[in-house]
Amino acid sequence: MARPHIEPFCDRDVPFKPMKLKGFGGGMHYKMLSLDTDTGACTMTVKLDGGYAQKPGFSWSELELLVIEGELQVGDKTVGKGHYFFVPAGHAMPAWRSAQGCLLLMMYNTGEPSLVESDTHHPDARTDRYHETDSYNDIPWALGNVTKPNVASGCLIKLLNFNDRSHALTFLYCMTPHFWQDNISYHDCAEESYHLWGDSWMMQFGTVPTGGYFWRPAYINHGAFASELGCIALGRTDSKLFNHFHYNPWSTVEENQARAAARTAERDPLLYRWIVQHGHNHPHGPEDFEDTMQRIGGSRKYRSVQPDKNKPFAHSHGQHGQHHHGDDKAHDHDH
């Protein structure tokens, strides 16, 4: 199974444990933030003691790394707070040292933490995907509109990595002081965040402080949002990010899934029919709760023709019904 829902959680509430896995140097300590127990993929806060030293080597897993505090020497280069590395599986890193010690966020994406001593890359490593940046100094903040509809103004991002196959994202985000956004979100992807500094607040899970963390599977409601003093955080998604916004705090994961599918059926009807309906000419997409929920002034569907809820696959044939075929075609109700 994938990683479970972890929220609310703050790494300041748990102690470091010594890292004992083969290959890593002595003086490495970790806090496990989330773990996929099938693959070993995980996110950890890691503390390296002053004087830490690690031999050159590669991991069997893809690794993302952000320096939270302190300085780390990677080969000849000294990097500090905010430095980000994307290291493909099998890509050999030079020796590490930390004279004064440092705090890192380490994300092993495809397998458990590992370090194989080597000064050359594995022959199958996708070395072209390696990149690093001083994210605090070398990237300007941009509007949070990497996806539409987008977050409220005052939530800004720095894009750190984009997976061109899955559209998974890694980014820094900040909320300006007194940021607020009054709607509720869910996504078709898992979402992860580590608060590097500051606080933010969500209606469902309360205040996320410095060191606050969540791994949130898809379709779980979160928001409204607010931040009193502002915050800076590292965020990730495991696939394409789309903001499903709404104002129904009671909708369930199943209702959110159905609504997401209904929106796919509306937006990409041919794709939806091919994948889900297998060519079967049935007019009924899944239910979008916003189309049928009771509300002041009446729901969208109640304003046209009220469906008969007692009949399976009951639906409106009114002009706003969700039909995925030309109106000249007969409906096929054979299953």
Q: Interface with Fe ion by CB under 5 A: which residues?
A: 185, 191
Cα end-to-end distance, the chain, whole Å: 32
CB of 59 vs Fe ion, minimal distance in Å: 28
Nearer to Fe ion, 110 or 163 (CB): 163
In DSSP terms, which residues pair with 78 in a beta bridge? Answer: 73
Nearer to Fe ion, 59 or 185 (CB): 185
Going across the sheet that includes 6-10, the strands are 6-10, 212-216, 191-198, 231-237, 169-175, 155-162, 142-143
Kindly state the helix (H) or strand (E) to which residue 267 belongs, with its residue range.
helix 253-267
Nearer to Fe ion, 24 or 219 (CB): 219
Nearer to Fe ion, 54 or 185 (CB): 185
The string of DSSP letters for 105-165 reads EEEE-SSS---EE-SS--TT--GGG-EEEEHHHHS--EES-SSSS-PPTTEEEEEEEE-TT
Determine contact, residues 64/86, Cβ cutoff 8 Å: yes
Nearer to Fe ion, 65 or 234 (CB): 234
Nearer to Fe ion, 64 or 191 (CB): 191
User: If you count them, how many residues does the chain have?
Assistant: 335
CB of 223 vs Fe ion, minimal distance in Å: 7
Cis check: omega of the bond before 307, within 30 degrees of 0: no
Kindly state the helix (H) or strand (E) to which residue 300 belongs, with its residue range.
helix 300-303
CB of 248 vs Fe ion, minimal distance in Å: 16
Read off the tokens for 292.
């049928």
Give the span between the Cα atoms of 290 and 117, in whole angstroms.
55
Nearer to Fe ion, 109 or 185 (CB): 185
CB of 212 vs Fe ion, minimal distance in Å: 14
Nearest partner of 234 among 298, 151, 173, 308, judged by Cα: 173
The string of DSSP letters for 65-107 reads EEEEEE-EEETTEEE-TTEEEEE-TTPPB--EEESS-EEEEEE
CB of 11 vs Fe ion, minimal distance in Å: 20
Nearer to Fe ion, 60 or 205 (CB): 205
CB of 183 vs Fe ion, minimal distance in Å: 11
CB of 227 vs Fe ion, minimal distance in Å: 14
The residues, ordered by sequence, that sit 6+ positions from 329 with a Cβ below 8 Å of its Cβ are 281
CB of 191 vs Fe ion, minimal distance in Å: 5
CB of 161 vs Fe ion, minimal distance in Å: 18
Nearer to Fe ion, 36 or 191 (CB): 191
The residues, ordered by sequence, that sit 6+ positions from 39 with a Cβ below 8 Å of its Cβ are 110, 111, 112
Give the span between the Cα atoms of 158 and 237, in whole angstroms.
14
